[in-house]
């Protein structure tokens, strides 16, 4: 058998997305803030497109609209004071330090990480600024006296020690535990520490409680990061047995084609270049308008189907959330699964139990003895309830928790209990044990 090169023809079916179809898909999957940015860009680029609405926030259900004084953007709070500015302002109030030390402090402030820790060593700082290492020590001592307590520490132990040093009547065990026993504290080894330090377990417990109130990341609150506005695209309410789904007007703004441009097209006469330009702009504006208008009924159909499927969640809360798939919703509303995925991506619903991303309503599930399926979210809620009800002196092991959930009809392994517990940020039985 010999191998060689050749040419052959083959037919295959492929879906080709036109620029218009790409635009329609993009508009559907944008979140509300992203949609507004996209519309603003389109309004700037195409003068044939106009925005007909106002800046008021309202909700629309099946054709009805109502004004609402609630503006979610007012909930966004920006911390405009950076850690660097906060520390520099404190430096300005100190007049009795020399210029070399002041220069060293400024350099250290500029080299703190997001948590407020000093990244370079004192030797590196002294070498970079060609300063006396002893002056660098003095500068660090001054800086570590600034607010917030613990700033400019070089490690966790030093950070906690600085904060403990500012506590009036601090228990003498606190600095000892910080200096040599942080790992034992993390693993709740109270009896071991009491025996090792020859004190009562209650004294260890009191000292540990003081340490737990210290801040291991003193600079983090000055770095909120990029502010992301969460704007609900839909409101889901349950009044008695009546389910109400309202789409926010902001999620589907009202647009129109500029009448002046349409008049200019009618009056353009035989100027083919002008007619072509005007027609292109008007066609683009009309298509963009249709895409935005279609977004509302598509979102309404999808979200109404989700609400019906998760009606027990709306009635009773997170513990009654059931498993749900995109395919299930796609079959109910007669849309392709990818369309449902795009319609729910990055969007939020205001419900009687709070604000949730639509992805929240599609949890995976576990089998129950009743032949039904419980969502992983509802199982985690049951797990938290069981742990909350336990005797803190004899906390449940993961196997005991699995056995208790089995009594609730939820079949779950010890390993899955451990995984869910860790995802919830709950420690092991040894870590939860209290005297």
Angle (deg, nearest 10), helices 173-180 and 190-197: 110
Mean pLDDT, residues 209-218: 92
Instruction: Round the CA-based radius of gyration of the chain to a whole number and report it.
Output: 31
Q: Please report the pLDDT score of residue 241 as a whole number.
A: 80
Task: Name the H helices within 213-271.
Answer: 259-266
Residue 350, phi then psi, degrees to nearest 5: -90, 120
Q: Please report the pLDDT score of residue 138 as a whole number.
A: 94
Q: What is the pLDDT of residues 16-36, one digit of tens each?
A: 556 777 888 888 888 888 888
Cβ neighbours around 424 below 10 Å, total? 12
Residue 365 — very low, low, confident or very high, per pLDDT cuts 50/70/90?
low
Closest-CA residue to 231 (of 50, 79, 36):
36
Q: Please report the pLDDT score of residue 72 as a whole number.
A: 39
d(CA 132, CA 212): 37
The mean-pLDDT minimum among 159-168, 284-293, 393-402 falls in 393-402
First to last CA, the chain: 80
Distance of CA 273 to the CA centre of its chain: 50
* Long-range residue pairs from 307-311, CB within 8 A, at least 24 positions apart, any chain: 307/236, 307/243, 307/245, 308/243, 308/332, 309/361, 310/361, 311/238, 311/243
Cβ neighbours around 336 below 10 Å, total? 10
Residue 36 has which token pair? 């507004």
Q: Please report the pLDDT score of residue 203 as a whole number.
A: 92
Q: Please report the pLDDT score of residue 153 as a whole number.
A: 95
CB neighbours of 65 closer than 8 A, spacing ≥ 6?
Answer: 58, 59, 249
- CATH 1.10.10.60 maps onto the chain at 364-432
Residue 299 — very low, low, confident or very high, per pLDDT cuts 50/70/90?
very high
The mean-pLDDT minimum among 78-92, 278-292, 322-336 falls in 78-92
Q: What is the pLDDT of residues 373-383, one digit of tens each?
A: 556 777 888 88
Tell me: pLDDT of 70 over 60: no
d(CA 281, CA 50): 12
d(CA 216, CA 396): 29
Q: What is the pLDDT of residues 220-255, one digit of tens each?
A: 888 655 556 677 889 999 888 889 999 887 777 889
Q: Please report the pLDDT score of residue 71 as a whole number.
A: 40
91 vs 78 pLDDT, higher one:
91
Q: pLDDT above 90 covers what percent of the chain?
A: 33
Residue 315 Cα distances to 151, 239, 309, 312, 352, angstroms: 47, 10, 12, 5, 8
The CATH architecture one would assign to domain 364-432 is: Orthogonal Bundle (1.10)
């Amino acid at each position: 058998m010999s191998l060689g090169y050749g040419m052959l023809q083959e037919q295959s079916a492929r879906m080709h997305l036109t620029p218009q179809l790409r635009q329609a898909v993009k508009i559907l999957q944008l979140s509300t803030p992203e949609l507004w940015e996209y519309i603003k860009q389109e309004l700037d680029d195409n003068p044939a497109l106009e925005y007909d609405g106002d800046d008021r926030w309202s909700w629309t259900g099946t054709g009805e609209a109502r004004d609402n004084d609630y503006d979610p953007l007012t909930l966004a709070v920006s911390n405009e004071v950076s850690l660097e500015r906060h520390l520099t302002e404190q430096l300005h109030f100190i007049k009795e330090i020399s210029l070399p030390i002041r220069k060293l402090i400024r350099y250290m402030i500029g080299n703190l990480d997001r948590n407020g820790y000093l990244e370079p060593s004192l030797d590196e700082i002294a070498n970079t600024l060609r300063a006396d290492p002893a002056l660098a020590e003095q500068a660090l001592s001054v800086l570590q006296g600034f607010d917030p307590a613990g700033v400019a520490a070089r490690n966790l132990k030093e950070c906690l020690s600085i904060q403990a040093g500012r506590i009036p009547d601090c228990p003498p065990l606190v600095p000892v535990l910080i200096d040599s026993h942080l790992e034992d504290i993390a693993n709740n080894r109270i009896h071991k520490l009491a025996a090792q330090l020859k004190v009562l377990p209650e004294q260890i417990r009191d000292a540990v409680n003081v340490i737990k109130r210290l801040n291991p990341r003193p600079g983090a609150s000055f770095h909120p990061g990029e502010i992301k506005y969460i704007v609900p695209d839909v409101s889901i309410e349950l009044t008695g047995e009546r389910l109400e789904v309202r789409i926010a007007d902001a999620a589907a703004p009202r647009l129109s084609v500029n009448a002046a441009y349409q008049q200019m097209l009618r009056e353009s006469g035989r100027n083919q270049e002008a007619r072509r330009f005007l027609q292109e702009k008007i066609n683009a504006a009309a298509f963009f308008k249709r895409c935005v208008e279609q977004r509302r009924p598509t979102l309404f159909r999808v979200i109404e189907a989700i609400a019906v499927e998760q009606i027990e969640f709306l009635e009773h809360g997170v513990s009654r959330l059931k498993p749900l798939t995109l395919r299930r919703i796609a079959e109910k509303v007669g849309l392709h699964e990818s369309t449902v995925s795009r319609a729910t991506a990055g969007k939020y619903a205001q419900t009687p139990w709070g604000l949730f991303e639509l992805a929240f309503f599609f949890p995976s599930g576990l089998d129950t003895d009743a032949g039904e399926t419980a969502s992983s979210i509802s199982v985690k809620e049951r797990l938290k309830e069981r742990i909350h009800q336990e005797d803190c002196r004899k906390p449940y092991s993961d196997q005991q928790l699995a056995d208790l959930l089995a009594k609730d009809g939820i079949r779950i392994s010890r390993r899955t209990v451990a995984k869910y517990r860790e995802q919830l940020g709950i420690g092991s039985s040894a870590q939860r044990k209290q005297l």
